[in-house]
A and B are shown apart, each in its own frame.
Chain A
């Protein structure tokens, strides 16, 4: 299976970095090879280039259109609020797999 390259973005890249750790754990548990990184929104154009998918924290969901404009041809989605709150890495990983269809 091809490696997943997932970029998470929020205001400062702080709270997404917590989710990032949980998602890495979930990926390891499921035996999926994945690069998962958290970044501040300001860097999305640069770091988004190599990503398979860009996920936004729900608190910056209003920036979705702007992110899509900056990173055309990339799937951009917003992390489900309750999954974000409970830092449910497994659920978010499932969200990613569903969108990417693999």
Chain B
């Protein structure tokens, strides 16, 4: 076991570190994190407008609040791709060590994203098969989740080209007496021109293809195949397994897989939420929020049940103390005290339940969804630290909340034998210690 562990640690640690410190991966992850507040704001307003509680709905109707709540989503979640371009391009510029340039690069990146969208929209003529072309408009089709992949690509490409010029000093230089802000904005001109020309060319070239435009091309070539991956529970299970394995070695596994899970499954969440707000059936069975609702109920490793047992049923002083210390935060998905205090990390006793419980916590709700007992998740974008049960209720009402209760009980059942083993061991150590003390006395 020791040899197995040391070999795994030898390869796992550097690999995780490599993925996580890859500047592009971390720029995408942190770029998402940067814009999450605006998405959360939009999502909460959408939820406020659509919670299906009859008296509440009547109240909304009466006060006109429904209309007031409905504005937010049109400029937040519906424009997700624009914010993603901003977040990633800003973050990548900063992480490549040019934070002062970020405020010039980000607007250029947004402009390039908008440039790839052909102007004008076709509006169907009522009562006929024809449509009229309305020129002074931009189609919003790719400004939301559908444009997410183009947004990521442009958010990465624009800063890369920009910094290519800056690093080789191909910029307009101003005399030293010119204030730095002004000279910076001039120095952004040459790379800006190059980027603008390149993306104009991109728009022109894709206009000649049967795809029609850059975004349609990316959507058909990347997003659609990837979304097939996203509909398969296997992909999600693999992500969970990798995260758990890393966590067992004390590495924040969720941090490592999050960029990938987010890119694939967050758009599904936003699309579910839009459908929910519109009163339509939810399109996606698996969303990013399956992680927070089911898999990571009580933090990574699904430790809420274990924390409850420690707090209330532990016989050893050690686990009693740890349970009381860790339970409140574990309820809000922050479980580092339990993970490191038990410890679960590198502790063979907890290896099996730590890997298996999160997997089961995904499989059971997924199965119940498939047979129609459990509703799909609404995909409400929630801040970190939202407590369990409330989390479930917001994501899918009472049925999902009850599912969470069942999963907590299941967590207790799975963890129980292993918890008893660890508790007994701790108790034996404690009594050995106190015997030592009495001998000393």
Contact = CB atoms under 8 A, between A and B. Distances in A.
Interface residues of B, number: 31
Interface in A6-35: 10-12, 14-15, 18
A57 B339 CA distance: 12
Interface in A40-67: 40, 42, 57-63, 65-66
B345 interface: yes
B340 interface: yes
B287 interface: no
Given A85-B339, A86-B322, A15 B21 contact: no
A12 B340 contact: no
Instruction: Classify the secondary structure of B's interface with A.
Output: helix
A14 B328 CA distance: 13
B250 interface: yes
Given A18-B329, A81-B250, A87 B17 contact: no
Contacts of B341: 82, 84-87
A65 B17 contact: yes
A81 B21 contact: no
A84 B340 contact: yes
Interface of A: 10-12, 14-15, 18, 40, 42, 57-63, 65-66, 81-82, 84-87
Given A15-B337, A42-B30, 16 more contacts: A12-B384, A59-B255, A59-B339, A60-B251, A60-B255, A66-B21, A81-B250, A81-B340, A82-B341, A84-B337, A85-B338, A85-B340, A85-B342, A86-B321, A86-B325, A87-B341
30 contacts: A14-B334, A14-B384, A15-B337, A42-B30, A42-B33, A57-B336, A58-B345, A59-B250, A59-B336, A59-B339, A60-B251, A61-B250, A61-B251, A62-B13, A62-B16, A62-B20, A62-B251, A63-B17, A63-B21, A66-B17, A82-B340, A82-B341, A84-B337, A84-B340, A84-B341, A85-B340, A85-B341, A85-B342, A86-B322, A87-B325
